[in-house]
């Protein structure tokens, strides 16, 4: 049976386990940190670099090289040196994906030294899992595969990330951050670190007010509010937000807006289909927890709102709207756009949705 592909949530769980092991000073002779999501690779590398050796030992026994400027032979020679006045020598290879003939590191990983800890940071993609290097790193050390989150996975991660800082975050604040920063975990982490420092002493919650005041994202003019205005059929508010987006196109990319609307109507379609199954097929309507799993939502708040707004739309219209969104997704990428600006395309799209 083929091995199941690692998922983002699995990657996060392994990341947390490795952080605990590093804190407990349980080290491997080799760390192969690889994958598309750079945030977790950087965090683990920094944790290892600051934990294995004391600051005094680091001056003698910790060496960082970069793949583009380093030959494999140099790394092998460094790894075979003995530490000076300490138990470990730490060799960190950053941007290892740029190293020529990296597979030849297998000359060292086949027989690593107990006194050396080699940390390989291989970003953007994985090392070939069929290679001797990968197999030896897996057998003799620790391999971490950093998975990039999908759109629906970033919200739950963000909620958990904030909780680790002793705070909770409202669903609207989560949506505002993810709409503004997408799935870039590094950017989200940086913004949250700055936000936590700026919060008043004793604060326990991050809401849309804090996001607006401290991060600079408008709590009125964002994709969360636009989607809400559209699905509740508040034409005036939707057009007011669209006007703001048209005046600030760099801060409000049309493609992200279309993705947000598509996700909202996709969820409405699923809930209405469940209602149809209940009415005509006698299938029990799922409870809120089951709907959260089906729709991949992290908060029951979204489910309750979706059940209310979905009643305003029948699925024939929703199906047509999903088709419209696919059409305007192509136009946002310059296909048959007719020279219209993003602002003009958004206004036209919204009018067509409200005419359904």
pLDDT of residue 4: 62
Banded model confidence at residue 1, pLDDT cuts 50, 70, 90: very low
Whole-number Å distance between alpha carbons of 59 and 235:
64
Same domain (yes/no): 339, 259: yes
Same domain (yes/no): 204, 287: no
Would 3 be classed as within a structural domain?
A: no
Would 1 be classed as within a structural domain?
A: no
pLDDT of residue 2: 47
Tell which wins on pLDDT, 45 or 295: 45
Would 228 be classed as within a structural domain?
A: yes
pLDDT at 331 over 90: yes
Would 162 be classed as within a structural domain?
A: yes
Would 2 be classed as within a structural domain?
A: no
| Rounded average pLDDT over 52-76 | 94
Same domain (yes/no): 87, 192: no
Secondary structure letter of residue 115 according to DSSP: T
| Rounded average pLDDT over 194-210 | 86
| Phi, psi for 211 (deg, rounded to 5) | -60, -40
Same domain (yes/no): 155, 140: no
Same domain (yes/no): 278, 308: yes
pLDDT at 258 over 90: yes
Count the helices and strands in the chain (H runs, E runs): 17, 7
Same domain (yes/no): 338, 236: yes
Task: Identify the weakest region by mean pLDDT among 40-44, 94-98, 142-146, 217-221.
Answer: 217-221
pLDDT of residue 176: 83
Same domain (yes/no): 141, 158: no
| Phi, psi for 120 (deg, rounded to 5) | -110, 115
Q: Which of 177, 192, 215 delimits the end of a domain?
A: 215
Q: Which of 125, 146, 167 delimits the end of a domain?
A: 146
Q: pTM for the complete prediction?
A: 0.75
| Mean pLDDT over each residue of the chain, to the nearest integer | 91
Would 259 be classed as within a structural domain?
A: yes
Question: How many CB atoms are closer than 10 A to CB 24?
Answer: 9
pLDDT of residue 337: 86
pLDDT digit string, tens, across residues 274-314: 999 999 999 999 999 999 889 888 778 888 889 999 999 99
pLDDT of residue 191: 86
pLDDT digit string, tens, across residues 104-131: 999 999 999 999 999 999 999 999 999 9
Would 110 be classed as within a structural domain?
A: yes
Domains held by the chain: number: 3
Exposure string of 255-265, with b = 16+ CB inside 10 Å and e = fewer, is ebbbbbbbbbb
pLDDT of residue 3: 57
| Rounded average pLDDT over 232-254 | 92
Which structural domain, as residue segments, surrounds residue 155? Answer: 151-215
Q: Which of 215, 249, 270 delimits the end of a domain?
A: 215
pLDDT of residue 105: 96
Exposure string of 206-222, with b = 16+ CB inside 10 Å and e = fewer, is bbbebbbebbebbbebb
Same domain (yes/no): 330, 263: yes
């Amino acid at each position: 049976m083929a091995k199941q592909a690692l998922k983002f949530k699995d990657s996060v769980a392994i990341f947390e386990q490795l952080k605990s092991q590093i804190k407990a000073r349980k080290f491997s002779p080799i760390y192969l940190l690889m994958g598309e999501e750079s945030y977790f690779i950087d965090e683990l590398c920094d944790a290892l670099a600051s934990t294995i050796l004391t600051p005094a030992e680091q001056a003698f026994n910790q060496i960082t090289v970069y793949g583009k400027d380093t030959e494999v032979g140099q790394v092998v020679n460094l790894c075979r040196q003995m530490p000076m006045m300490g138990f470990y020598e730490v060799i960190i290879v950053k941007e290892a994906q740029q190293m020529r003939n990296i597979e030849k590191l297998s000359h060292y990983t086949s027989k690593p030294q107990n006194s050396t800890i080699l940390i390989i940071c291989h970003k953007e993609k994985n090392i070939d899992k069929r290679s001797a290097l990968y197999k030896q790193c897996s057998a003799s050390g620790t391999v971490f595969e950093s998975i990039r989150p999908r759109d629906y996975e970033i919200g739950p991660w963000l909620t958990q990330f904030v909780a680790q800082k002793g705070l909770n975050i409202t669903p609207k604040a989560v949506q505002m951050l993810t709409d503004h920063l997408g799935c870039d975990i590094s950017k989200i982490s940086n913004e949250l670190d700055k936000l936590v420092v700026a919060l008043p002493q004793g604060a326990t919650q991050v809401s849309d007010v804090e996001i607006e005041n401290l991060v600079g994202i408008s709590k009125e003019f964002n994709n969360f509010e636009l989607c809400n205005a559209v699905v509740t059929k508040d034409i005036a508010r939707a057009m007011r937000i669209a006007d703001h987006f048209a005046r600030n196109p760099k801060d409000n990319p049309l493609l992200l807006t279309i993705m947000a609307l598509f996700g909202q109507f996709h969820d409405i379609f699923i809930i209405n289909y469940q209602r149809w199954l209940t009415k005509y097929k006698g299938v029990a309507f799922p409870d809120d927890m089951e709907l959260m799993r089906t729709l991949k939502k992290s908060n029951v708040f979204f489910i309750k709102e979706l059940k209310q707004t979905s009643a305003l739309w029948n699925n024939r219209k929703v199906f047509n709207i999903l088709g419209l969104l696919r059409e305007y997704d192509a136009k946002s990428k310059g296909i048959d756009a007719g020279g219209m600006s993003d602002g003009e395309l958004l206004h036209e799209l919204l009018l067509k949705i409200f005419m359904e």
